């Protein structure tokens, strides 16, 4: 009889373990780690862009010495963008994420002005170093856009899990410290198409 009771208890514990593993307990930590990994991708691409900028500035500087204000703006924007650090622990603070996003947007604008300067210098436009750096920068900008999109999707999945059943049950019991993660917000004015003049 004692063996039968132990067997029933073991079966009940095993059944409880199997039911808990399939009920979503692991979904919140998994979604959070996915969002953090996507954030690391965003930071990786920002770093790649930041690493390309000194070479691009030096190449343009050799051709466009009179464009000092544009070169200075790019250098200052890069310095500001690299001075703001948002790690995975800061992702629940929308203000910190916004500060980083604003600094990165300012850097994007300064880079756009720098690339526009190249239009005034035919020799620069045909320089192989400049063309290679420009292509790498364009590729990096595309990677940043994809990484942001992936981060936004991962944050949406995580934040949704915190607010829907069964995740809301786990969030209110075992994961009380987990807060929704901040998302990227579109830059004000980005809904308006740029004006092109010829």
Return the pLDDT at 21. 57
Q: Which two tokens stand for residue 136?
A: 């790498």
CATH 1.20.1440.20 fits 27-173, yes or no: yes
Alpha helices for 84-166 (secondary structure H): 94-117, 122-126, 128-163
Span 87-106, pLDDT tens digits: 888 999 999 999 999 999 99
Mean pLDDT of 171-196: 78
- Dihedral of alpha carbons 130, 136, 139, 144, sign: negative
CA atoms within 13 A on the CB side of 151: 24
Distance CA 88, CA 91 (A): 5
* Local structure of 9: helix, strand or coil: helix
pLDDT surpasses 80 at 131: yes
- Per-domain residue ranges for the chain? 27-173
Return the pLDDT at 106. 92
Percent of the chain at pLDDT exceeding 90 = 53
Return the pLDDT at 124. 84
Return the pLDDT at 20. 57
């Amino acid at each position: 009889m004692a063996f039968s009771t132990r067997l029933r208890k073991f079966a009940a514990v095993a059944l409880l373990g199997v039911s808990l593993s399939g009920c979503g307990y692991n979904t919140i930590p998994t979604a959070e780690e996915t969002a953090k990994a996507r954030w690391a991708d965003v930071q990786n691409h920002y770093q790649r862009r930041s690493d390309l900028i000194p070479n691009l500035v030096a190449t343009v500087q050799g051709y466009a010495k009179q464009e000092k204000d544009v070169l200075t703006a790019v250098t200052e924007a890069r310095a500001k963008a690299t001075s703001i650090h948002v790690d995975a622990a800061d992702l629940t603070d929308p203000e910190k994420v916004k500060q980083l996003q604003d600094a990165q947007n300012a850097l994007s604008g300064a880079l756009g002005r720098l690339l526009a300067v190249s239009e005034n210098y035919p020799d620069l436009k045909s320089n192989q170093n400049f063309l290679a750096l420009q292509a790498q920068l364009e590729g990096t900008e595309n990677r940043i856009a994809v990484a942001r999109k992936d981060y936004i999707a991962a944050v949406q999945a995580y934040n949704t899990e915190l607010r829907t059943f069964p995740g809301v049950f786990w969030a209110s019991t075992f994961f009380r410290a987990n807060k929704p993660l901040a998302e990227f917000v579109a830059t004000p004015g980005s809904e308006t198409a740029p004006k092109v003049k010829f």
